[in-house]
C-alpha cells in the first residue's frame, strides 16, 4: 500500500493496512500478508503487483494515485461516520457526549468525536477532514467525467 493513500482509503471505510506498519518490506512478505488477510496489494512495484494480482499505480502524486484507484474500481466514497483510524487503521468508536477527550480534540458534548480502539487517537469532522472529503469528491467527479 502506498503511504500517501492510507488516510484517504480509511476515510472511505477501507481496511487499509500499510505494509511498513506491519513490518512487511520484502515482496514475498507483503504477498504472504495479502494472501493471509485477503487483501488487495496497491503498489508502484510492477513485479509485486503482477505477483499478487494487485493494483499497479504509475503516478507519484497522491491525487493522481487516487484517480488510478478510482479507475481500478475502488470506491472512494467517504463513510458518513469515520470507521478506520487514519493513523493506525484501528476501528473507531464514537466518544459518548459525557466522556473526556484530550486537549487537541473538541468536547464530544459539542461535536461528534471518534476514538481509535488501538491507538486512542481522536478524530472529528474538522477542516482537515473536510479537505480530504473535498479532494475525494474532485477525484470522483473526474472519474465520472472520464467514464461517460
Is residue 21 near Zn ion by the rule CB under 5 A? no
Phi, psi of 11 (to 5 degrees): -60, -30
Is residue 47 near Zn ion by the rule CB under 5 A? no
Is residue 119 near Zn ion by the rule CB under 5 A? yes
Q: Which is nearer to Zn ion, 7 or 76 (CB)?
A: 7
Cell of 126: 474538522
Is residue 34 near Zn ion by the rule CB under 5 A? no
Site string for Zn ion, 67-86 (x = CB under 5 A): ------------------x-
CB of 117 to Zn ion, least distance (A): 7
Q: What share of the chain is helix, strand, coil (3-state, %, to 5)?
A: 40, 10, 50
Q: DSSP letter at 79?
A: P
How many Cα atoms sit within 13 Å of 130 on the Cβ side? 3
Angle at 145 between CA 41 and CA 12, to 5 degrees: 40
Q: What's the residue count for the chain?
A: 148
Count residues near Zn ion (CB under 5 A): 8
How many Cα atoms sit within 13 Å of 140 on the Cβ side? 13
| Residue in 70, 116, 136, 139 binding Zn ion, rule: CB under 5 A | 116
CB of 85 to Zn ion, least distance (A): 3
| Residue in 44, 51, 71, 90 binding Zn ion, rule: CB under 5 A | 90
| Residue in 118, 126, 128, 134 binding Zn ion, rule: CB under 5 A | 118
Indicate the helix (H) or strand (E) that contains 94.
strand 92-94
Per CB under 5 A, residues contacting Zn ion are 85, 87-88, 90, 116, 118-119, 121
Amino acid at each position: 500500500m502506498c503511504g500517501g493513500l492510507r488516510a484517504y482509503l480509511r476515510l472511505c471505510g477501507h481496511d487499509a493496512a500499510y505494509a511498513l506498519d506491519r513490518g512487511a518490506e520484502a515482496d514475498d512478505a507483503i504477498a504472504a500478508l495479502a494472501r493471509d488477510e485477503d487483501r488487495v496489494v496497491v503498489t508502484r512495484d510492477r513485479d509485486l503487483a503482477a505477483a499478487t494480482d494487485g493494483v499497479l499505480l504509475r503516478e507519484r502524486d497522491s491525487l493522481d494515485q487516487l484517480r488510478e484507484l478510482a479507475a481500478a474500481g475502488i470506491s472512494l466514497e467517504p463513510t458518513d461516520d469515520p470507521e478506520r483510524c487514519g493513523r493506525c487503521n484501528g476501528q473507531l468508536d464514537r466518544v459518548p457526549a459525557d466522556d473526556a477527550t484530550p486537549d487537541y480534540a473538541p468536547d464530544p458534548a459539542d461535536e461528534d468525536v471518534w476514538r481509535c480502539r488501538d491507538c486512542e487517537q481522536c478524530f472529528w469532522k474538522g477542516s482537515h477532514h473536510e479537505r480530504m472529503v473535498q479532494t475525494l469528491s474532485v477525484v470522483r467527479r473526474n472519474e465520472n467525467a472520464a467514464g461517460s
